[in-house]
Amino acid sequence: MELAYTNYVLPYVVAILVSLAMVARLWNYRDRRAARSFLFDVSGIVLLSICNVLQLLSTDVGTKLFWWNWRFVPITFMGLGYMFTAIEYTDREHWLTYRTGAALAVIPVLSQVLVWTNGTHGLFYGYSYDAAANMLVPQFGPFYWLFAGFIVACLGVGIYLLLDLARTQAAFTKQATILLGSILLVLVGEILWWLHVVPIDPAPLTSTVKVAGFLFGVARFELLDIVPVARKTVIENMRDAVFVVDRTNRIVDANDAGKRLVDDDAVVRKQIDEVFDAETLAGHEDARDARTDIALSVDGEVRHFDFQISPLAERGTAHGGRLFVFRDITELKRREDELSILNRIVRHDIRNDMSVIDGRGELLADHVDENGAEHLRKIRESSRHVVDLTDNVGHLMESITSDESMEVESVDLSAVLRTQLDRARMRYDAATFAVDGSLPDSCHVRANEMLSSVFTNLFNNAVNHHDGESCRVTVSVEVTGSTARVEVADDGPGIPDDRKARIFGRGEMGLDSSGTGIGLYLVDTLVDRYGGTITVRDNDPRGSVFTVELPLATADRIRAQPSSDR
């Protein structure tokens, strides 16, 4: 293959070098939405430039036609790549199905067949050869215009999607304008070539400018960092106030709730510290991931918000935008305050009064005859029951109003069980509390100070629901793998199978029981918050066995050592 230099190749060589340099830059963004489709487009620019260079340098007409025919492959890459970029960028990837792909492939495949057989029919293109300039001068046939129409239609789809984005989402106007302006330059260049105003195809050159504009958008406007992904569905319909902030702390988008929160319809493009004062942001201006409660004045009223900052950059990418979300929790705060007041009344006022009643009853024991002793005993039992009830209600309120993930620590399970067994023995003279085998010297689990309530309620449940004169409760502990299993077995009437799945629900009470139903619900709530489980099964020959499994504290997986227990 003989080659002859011509100055016409210089623009294409520049386009190749510039495009390759920009491909290397875009490669860093390959994991971001729409980046791969754009790289597909850019690869077409490089290949088209190479085909044009080889076609211009060749001196043989047959070789020129060979490279001319190959140029229609990268042109297809460029048209489809731009359309796919717009589709992905505007979150319409559901358009890209196998059926759509098959339909899009029809004209490019047909065009390739017609191009390579053009010598027999001449319907795709004709040409004349300018020997002085060593150039082919094309005349376009009907099938060429079919192919060109297909490529322009692909570009038109991309233009329509980006125009719609710019029209409906003002925050992305600059990004959409960059993508639109660059492709319009490409179209103008092609029209000039079709009209023979310019001697060579300017598509690689104008497309290189397009890539440069795209890179400018990436660097200046976070073109790939912040994209309009399902915005109308996800953001606009949210009741929470949402602000999208770029890496320069400029607000690039805000939903209607956000604009109402700051009472500013023109909040987009303002700096975040212009919209919120320093006290509100409280040092979170540059935080990538944070969550806190804040109070803001809205329409003259102080309202409380759950304020959360989340990063928008995808995995493996550089520092990108952030999402500021304000969720109004004013009503929740009021409910928490009301619960706190109720908790104080229950745990302090009522509990203190009932403790006084029980204490006075104890003083009366020596002053009551046999006929009144039974009544006094009932009074004292009821007062102690109310005290237990207030403890359970208080613990339940703490578990309800605490964070979703209750704060846990390393707690010595063995110490808790020994203490609760001793208290149960003192409290219930007629009941027997025994340990099957022995308790480990030390067994640390993930729990908190309310772990004692779990076993207090299980012991109380066994005694209060017993149907005989005496009650026997047996406790056993087994440490296996990463959990500690505690079994509390009684010899009472047992629990019917149809109630086993419901006894831990709110308000459930045992058969013929005068209990409140809060105890087992509290047990189930606490064990669940600790990351454990509680189940119940029948005992042999009668009674029930409650099994509590708790995760061992990871820092204190101490092998159980037996010790003597009563």
What does the pLDDT profile of the chain (566 residues) look like in tens digits? 677 788 888 888 888 888 888 777 777 766 666 677 878 888 888 898 899 899 889 988 889 899 999 999 999 998 898 888 888 777 777 788 888 889 999 999 999 999 999 989 989 999 888 888 888 888 889 999 999 999 999 988 988 887 777 676 655 666 667 767 777 888 888 888 888 888 888 888 888 877 777 666 655 555 444 455 445 555 666 788 988 887 778 887 788 888 888 888 888 778 888 888 777 776 666 677 888 888 888 888 888 898 988 887 544 444 567 888 999 988 888 877 766 666 666 666 676 777 788 888 888 888 888 788 878 877 877 777 677 767 766 666 666 665 555 678 899 999 999 988 988 888 788 899 999 989 998 899 999 878 888 998 899 889 888 888 789 999 999 998 889 999 999 999 998 888 887 787 644 444 344 444 567 887 888 898 889 999 999 999 899 999 999 999 874 443 444 444 54
Given this model, what pLDDT does residue 236 score? 60
Given this model, what pLDDT does residue 72 score? 92
Given this model, what pLDDT does residue 335 score? 76
The tokens describing 423, both together, are: 């208290």
Q: State how far the Cα of 472 lies from the Cα of 457, in Å rounded to an integer.
A: 15
Beta strands 471-480 and 431-435: pairing type? parallel
Given this model, what pLDDT does residue 322 score? 82
- Region class of 34: left (phi > 0), else alpha (psi between -120 and 50), else beta: left
9-221 placed in CATH 1.10.155? no
Is residue 232 a contact partner of residue 255, using CB atoms and an 8 Å limit? no
The tokens describing 313, both together, are: 């950059």
**CATH architecture observed for domain 405-566:** 2-Layer Sandwich (3.30)
Question: Hey, how many other C-beta atoms are within 10 angstroms of the C-beta on 28?
Answer: 14
Statement: the pTM of the whole predicted model exceeds 0.85: no
Given this model, what pLDDT does residue 368 score? 83
Is residue 520 a contact partner of residue 510, using CB atoms and an 8 Å limit? no
Given this model, what pLDDT does residue 230 score? 45
Query: Is omega for the bond preceding 228 within 30 degrees of 0, making it cis?
Result: no
CB contact set of 120 (below 8 Å; sequence gap of 6+): none
Given this model, what pLDDT does residue 487 score? 96
Beta strands 241-245 and 251-254: pairing type? antiparallel
Fold for the domain defined by 231-328: Beta-Lactamase (3.30.450)
Given this model, what pLDDT does residue 386 score? 75
